[in-house]
Chains A and B, each alone.
Chain A
Amino acid sequence: MARAGVQRLVPGVVRQSHGLQRFMLLLGFGLVLLFVVVAVFAPWIAPYGFDADRTSDGVVFGAQQAPSSSHWFGTTVGGTDVFSRVVYGTRTAMIVIALAVVLSSVVGVPLGLVSGYVGGALDRVLVLVMDALYAFPSLLLAIVVSIVLSGGSSGAFGGIMSAALSITVIFVPQYFRVIRNATLSVKTEPYVDAARVVGVRTPRIMFRHVFSNVAQNLPIIGTLNASEAILTLAGLGFLGFGIEPSAAAEWGYDLNKALPDATNGIWWTGVFPGLAIVLVVLGVTLVGESLNDVLNPLLRTRAGDGSESEIQLDDDAAATVAEDVPTDVRRAAVLSLSDLSVSFSTDAGRVRAVRDLSFDVAPGEVLAVVGESGSGKSVTARAVLGLLPSTASVEGSAVLRSGDGPGDGRRTGPAGVPGDGRRSSTERELVGRSQRELRSVRGDEVSMVFQEPSTALDPVRTVGWQIVQGIRAHRSVSAKEARARAVELLELVGLPDPEQRVDYYPHQLSGGQKQRVVIAMAIACDPDVIVADEPTTALDVTVQAQILDLLLSLRDRLGTAIVLITHNMGVVADVADRVVVMYRGRLVETAPVDRLFAEPRHPYTRALLDAVPHLGREDGPEPVDPSNEVVLDVDDLVVEFAGRLGQPAFTAVDHVSLQVRRGEVLGLVGESGSGKSTIGRTAVGLQQPTSGTVSVSGTVVSGLSDARLRPLRSRFGFVFQDPASSLNPRMSIGDCIAEPLRVQTDLSSAQVDAKVASLLESVQLPASYAARFGHELSGGQRQRISLARAIALDPDLLIADEPTSALDVSVQATVLELFAELQQRVGFACLFISHDLAVVDSLANRVAVLQHGRLVEQGSREDVLRRPQEAYTQRLIAAVPVPDPAEQRRRRPTPMP
């Protein structure tokens, strides 16, 4: 979920200062061009031949002559013209580089591609050999190879060829490694799986899907290798293993000959060929570096305002609906934002992420800030603490009112009631402060809890160290006292064995435990406000419930106000006192939680709440006729993954049996690691079972070879979770949808086009989208395309693996609607994999619950979700917060102490 940094927060934010980048690129290209021209026109540029020691009239140049008008760069110890030798040396260098780069990529790229994609023993052997070659000092290898090839030296063509080949041998491993690693990461992308699911043959997958996405690395490695090739060639020549001196001019050889001159003050024989080497390598390297910057995917972002909400509002309707805040509340607020605006400077101009935002946070209250992605809620949180990158500019005001410092007594009352009147507060403006001034606030008065605990904790430091650093940044206490406090804090946040765990590294803790540590850090200095940015989004629902409990109990015990940034309306209903709703950087409505859910006033809030599925209140479909034929039959399925050396195998799926009938949607629910995705992947042959069988429409599909499975593949479709990676970025939408048709049917290309258009229409997108590419679409649109591709062959069975969990709630609602409609119309059987019980409640006929790879309970939607029999199902359902504060208060198992 959370990609670190601001890239996630504000699409379109690109680092500035491209002027310098452009200069380096131009300088590089200029140098390379210069040398190419010199190489091509060498005979016309050079005044003499490369080994001529006299003019055409027979006048001898003389040895070691200083630069003059007849010999611009002087003459060598052998009495040849240095300038001519440098010019002809350019030609030699360019030919060798070109040959070496072409040859090594021609050999290394296919090897890396095959090795990475096919894997297995071939891969292991190739990796071993290539790593060995790679580890070996490249120059020595080149020397050995050049001796083998030519016995040390030979004529012009043979010499150049053998030099190029020696260099090729040392570069093949580099291409191999980069391409193999890129292949390994590309081959696990959903779009490659999507191609495999429909039966695309391996060579086509490797070329259309893997190679086209890996190839972007080639120019970078090519340029980097080119510069190394020059250095290696020069090194070979310097040691006397390059090209026979009589056959061609070579810079390294000349430098070797010039070495004794250096101690005699004769500089020209060495400096000019040396400079030539430096300038070529510099030019090529600069080109490579700039290409790297240009092609680096981290720097590539989509333009636009980042909002993908399906709820569109007229500008008139966007007027803010805010409760009038009594001035005394305002004065008592710990944090007041007034007209806060945040904008980012990007290549495409300024992007305004937050506009004129005003709200107050009362002492001890839980204020939820809700909105869909791109609404500016996370940016707001970071703006308050000055944690935005330097491209951001913040205007307006954020006033922090703190009491008498730490230990000013417990403030009581969850609702925005000011504490006792003793709070003689000091006001501090946070906007426009220097980093130094803000530092005293961060972690002391205002602290932060991050979304993804595994990235918010430093992986190479113990959790205790990290807590201690936070404490000692603000309090002058000894290391020992700080450590004791860290243990105390870990105990407070409910981490078992705090004395031991204080010395644990983050990777030794579970996700929920890590988030407890992050919270312990946040409360370390007794802050007035905790800003929690999606603190439970990365966690399983049962863990989420525990973390929310913890936050609430801390609020009650410490009186800390909590600003809870979330997209989850269930969480809001569960814990918030007041709610701020944001839409496209603006505040649209603020209200106490009960009022907001009971009578939302702003059209956006109403639309948002309508889109949220409500567990227990959805009227999903009834069970289908049990006489319908069984489409998917999973029988006693076991899937194990081999453990790493010395570790036991990991059982992902443990004796699971289930069936899905024609026209039926089976909701497969469970927490992360429960094995639900593995079942889905096994059902379509992306994963082989350890034991048990999978049959589709009566044919056993598990354990078949790819070739045997291919004709059966038209029977199933697959929709993946991540819309960003489920479409091949290098293929047009039309090609993506058409791929199953081209592989599995004999339709003419006109028929394919017509079918693509009708499929686009059935997912409610215009036919013109066929010419677009994935990155030009929103997440919801991409999921529609995935759906169109999955139903292209009219499958009997559709596997949908969390198809909406990466989408905003309003987008999710429309995609689910479309899904239900298609399912009604086409009548496929569907295995719907989800962690979201409310979504399943809205569209499944039956539900199966998984835990640790075992099937816990299965039955009709009504039975499982309304009348669960198993303790785990009951716990799971109880942990899901419903988007209704009154109902959620009743559902909460134990009221907070």
Chain B
Amino acid sequence: MSSAEVLAAGEPPTPVPAAPSGSRRGLPPLARYLLVRLALVVPMIWVLVTLVFVLLRVIGDPITAAQGGRLTPEQIAERKAEAGLDRPLLVQYWEYLSGLLHGDFGRSLTDNQPISEVLRVNGAATLELSFYALVVAFAVGVPLGRLAARYRDRLPDVALRLFAIVAYAAPVFFVGLLLKLAFTPFGWPSSGRASTSTLLTLEQVHPRTNILLVDAILWGDPSYVLEVLQYALLPALALGLLTGGVFLRLVRINLLQTMRAEYVTSARARGMAEGRVIRKVAFRNALVPVVTVMGMQVAMLLAGAVLTETTFEWKGIGYALAEYLKARDFLAVQGIVTVIALVVCVASFLIDVIVALVDPRVRF
């Protein structure tokens, strides 16, 4: 991602002259803006969902893919008829779409589980991992990005930029491998979400969220909380450093760009202290493009989660996806990939909302 995204993020001004400002007809501008954004999300979801369906059906039928060679052609035909896969593609497409509207993502072929159930259990794990990773990414990226911008072209900046590039250049599974090499000699847990006994205990928590940290807190034993966090450290670091490097570069470059703006000079000319100028003026303005691109990082985070979860046997959506892919269970893959597409679309809409909150030009 990085600079290509920075390049791509800025839409050039449209040639159509802006309508005279101050026209206040109909809906308030914020509501109109959000409605327009929402209206744009729907076709995007449709395109993605259709794409997933088309791509996965081009492979051939899922039954043959999963069971080919193990079953006789008659058995396969029977199974296909059972699953409704012998009907015209359009009918299946229609069923797939209407199923989605009801929250039905189909069933897996290999273990015959409803995908929604897989999502409920594993989704919580991925959510938890993404949250930890985001915390690490923010804690690393934002302050270091500000530091780099402040010492532009001097030693701290150079070191931090190299760090950011290396963090981006190292595949998450390689970082994972290095972390494992470094931590296992000390007996630090390096796979799974918790020990088997802890997992068994926490399964009894009511109401069970599958977010282990929450479950452990609900259970009330601090040693469980500690253990859960211990298990989470390495995957969170691996995934968080990757995203943190991207954040660092984003914050740095956008801060540097806003520092060049005339309103920053103007704030200095009013006698504002330099620290305040950076904190209150430049940073807030730099945040607008940063938030937009961070929204795109959600997709990257999800892709990274597949690799991180495989590396650390963290049983989230990505782990499940990789397993189903290996088993050639394309019905399950279709369901999971569809959900990921939905998450990406929803995230991009939420980012628009956040941008609107940060940037008054959108709000009014």
Smallest CB separation, B362 vs chain A (Å):
10
Closest chain A residue to B264, Cβ basis: A458
Residue interface mask A213-228, B partner, CB < 8 A = 1: 0000100110011011
On whether A178 and B8 interact (CB within 8 A), knowing A128-B44, A137-B344, A458-B281, the answer reads yes
Q: Which residues of B contact A221 (CB under 8 A)?
A: 4, 7
Could you tell me the distance between the alpha carbons of A289 and B6 in the complex, rounded to whole angstroms? 12
Is the pair B171, A235 in contact by a Cβ cutoff of 8 Å? yes
On whether A387 and B299 interact (CB within 8 A), knowing A224-B3, A278-B166, the answer reads no
Is the pair A174, B4 in contact by a Cβ cutoff of 8 Å? yes
Could you tell me the distance between the alpha carbons of A652 and B15 in the complex, rounded to whole angstroms? 13
Is the pair B171, A439 in contact by a Cβ cutoff of 8 Å? no
Is the pair A448, B266 in contact by a Cβ cutoff of 8 Å? yes
Which candidate, A251-259, A353-361, A774-782, is the interface stretch facing chain B? A251-259
Is A270 an interface residue, CB under 8 A from the partner?
yes
Q: Which residues of B contact A282 (CB under 8 A)?
A: 165-166, 169
On whether A289 and B361 interact (CB within 8 A), knowing A231-B171, A274-B177, A460-B288, the answer reads no
Q: Which residues of A contact B181 (CB under 8 A)?
A: 262, 265, 267, 270-271
On whether A443 and B284 interact (CB within 8 A), knowing A455-B263, A457-B266, the answer reads no
Could you tell me the distance between the alpha carbons of A472 and B191 in the complex, rounded to whole angstroms? 54
Q: Which of A188, A235, A439, A459 contacts B361 (CB 8 A)?
A: A459
Could you tell me the distance between the alpha carbons of A809 and B248 in the complex, rounded to whole angstroms? 47
On whether A234 and B171 interact (CB within 8 A), knowing A458-B263, A461-B281, the answer reads yes
Is A859 an interface residue, CB under 8 A from the partner?
no
Which candidate, A142-150, A338-346, A543-551, A606-614, is the interface stretch facing chain B? A142-150
Is B12 an interface residue, CB under 8 A from the partner?
yes
Closest chain A residue to B175, Cβ basis: A274
Is the pair A128, B47 in contact by a Cβ cutoff of 8 Å? yes
Kindly identify, within residues 238 to 256 of chain B, every residue whose CB is under 8 Å from any CB belonging to chain A.
none
- Count, A-B residue pairs, CB within 8 A: 299
On whether A135 and B271 interact (CB within 8 A), knowing A270-B174, A460-B360, A650-B20, the answer reads no
Q: Which residues of A contact B285 (CB under 8 A)?
A: 458-460
On whether A259 and B4 interact (CB within 8 A), knowing A4-B261, A128-B43, A278-B169, the answer reads no
Most interface-central of B23, B266, B274, B328 (chain A CB within 10 A): B266
Closest chain A residue to B39, Cβ basis: A645
Residue interface mask B202-219, A partner, CB < 8 A = 1: 000000000000000000
Is the pair B266, A135 in contact by a Cβ cutoff of 8 Å? no
Is the pair A473, B270 in contact by a Cβ cutoff of 8 Å? yes
Is A738 an interface residue, CB under 8 A from the partner?
no
Is B269 an interface residue, CB under 8 A from the partner?
yes
Could you tell me the distance between the alpha carbons of A182 and B4 in the complex, rounded to whole angstroms? 12
Smallest CB separation, A495 vs chain B (Å):
14
Q: Which residues of B contact A138 (CB under 8 A)?
A: 299-300, 303
Could you tell me the distance between the alpha carbons of A886 and B344 in the complex, rounded to whole angstroms? 69
Residue interface mask B37-79, A partner, CB < 8 A = 1: 0000001100110011001101100000100000000000000
Is B25 an interface residue, CB under 8 A from the partner?
yes
Q: Which residues of A contact B364 (CB under 8 A)?
A: 505, 507-508
Smallest CB separation, A752 vs chain B (Å):
32
Is the pair A643, B177 in contact by a Cβ cutoff of 8 Å? no
Is A648 an interface residue, CB under 8 A from the partner?
yes
Is the pair A135, B299 in contact by a Cβ cutoff of 8 Å? yes
Most interface-central of B1, B13, B48, B271 (chain A CB within 10 A): B271
Is the pair A473, B273 in contact by a Cβ cutoff of 8 Å? yes
Is the pair A217, B7 in contact by a Cβ cutoff of 8 Å? yes
Kindly identify, within residues 546 to 595 of chain A, every residue whose CB is under 8 Å from any CB belonging to chain B.
none
Could you tell me the distance between the alpha carbons of A181 and B65 in the complex, rounded to whole angstroms? 41
Residue interface mask A819-831, B partner, CB < 8 A = 1: 0000000000000
Could you tell me the distance between the alpha carbons of A835 and B12 in the complex, rounded to whole angstroms? 27
Most interface-central of B12, B310, B348 (chain A CB within 10 A): B12
Is the pair B7, A220 in contact by a Cβ cutoff of 8 Å? yes
Is the pair B25, A647 in contact by a Cβ cutoff of 8 Å? yes
Q: Which residues of A contact B260 (CB under 8 A)?
A: 4-5
Q: Which residues of A contact B307 (CB under 8 A)?
A: 139, 235, 238-239
Q: Which residues of B contact A641 (CB under 8 A)?
A: 16-17
Is the pair B48, A136 in contact by a Cβ cutoff of 8 Å? yes
Could you tell me the distance between the alpha carbons of A466 and B47 in the complex, rounded to whole angstroms? 45
Q: Which of B4, B17, B266, B274 contacts A220 (CB 8 A)?
A: B4
Could you tell me the distance between the alpha carbons of A853 and B59 in the complex, rounded to whole angstroms? 60
Number of chain B residues close to chain A: CB under 8 A: 101
Kindly identify, within residues 298 to 347 of chain B, every residue whose CB is under 8 Å from any CB belonging to chain A.
299-300, 302-303, 306-307, 310-311, 321-322, 325-326, 328, 330, 333, 337, 340-341, 344-345
Most interface-central of A147, A241, A267 (chain B CB within 10 A): A147
Q: Which residues of A contact B52 (CB under 8 A)?
A: 144
Could you tell me the distance between the alpha carbons of A644 and B25 in the complex, rounded to whole angstroms? 12
Is A521 an interface residue, CB under 8 A from the partner?
yes
Is the pair B8, A227 in contact by a Cβ cutoff of 8 Å? no
Is A442 an interface residue, CB under 8 A from the partner?
yes
Is the pair B8, A181 in contact by a Cβ cutoff of 8 Å? yes
Q: Which residues of A contact B361 (CB under 8 A)?
A: 459-460, 505, 507
Q: Which residues of A contact B89 (CB under 8 A)?
A: none
On whether A647 and B19 interact (CB within 8 A), knowing A274-B178, A278-B170, the answer reads yes
27 contacts between A and B (CB under 8 A): A15-B153, A128-B43, A128-B47, A136-B341, A137-B299, A137-B340, A140-B337, A144-B337, A147-B325, A174-B4, A181-B7, A182-B12, A188-B15, A227-B169, A239-B306, A240-B326, A259-B311, A281-B169, A282-B165, A292-B3, A387-B268, A441-B271, A442-B271, A457-B266, A466-B270, A474-B271, A505-B364
Q: Which B residues contact A (CB, under 8 angstroms)? A: 1-4, 7-8, 10-17, 19-23, 25-27, 32, 36, 43-44, 47-48, 51-52, 55-56, 58-59, 65, 153, 158, 165-166, 168-171, 173-174, 176-178, 180-181, 184-185, 190-191, 260-263, 265-274, 276, 280-281, 284-285, 288, 296, 299-300, 302-303, 306-307, 310-311, 321-322, 325-326, 328, 330, 333, 337, 340-341, 344-345, 348, 358-361, 364
The 6 residue pairs across chains A and B that have the minimum distance between CB atoms: A281-B169, A470-B270, A274-B174, A185-B12, A443-B271, A137-B303
* 11 extra interface residue pairs, beta carbon distance < 8 Å, beyond A240-B326, A270-B174, A277-B174: A5-B265, A135-B296, A147-B325, A181-B8, A184-B14, A217-B7, A255-B173, A259-B311, A274-B177, A292-B3, A442-B271
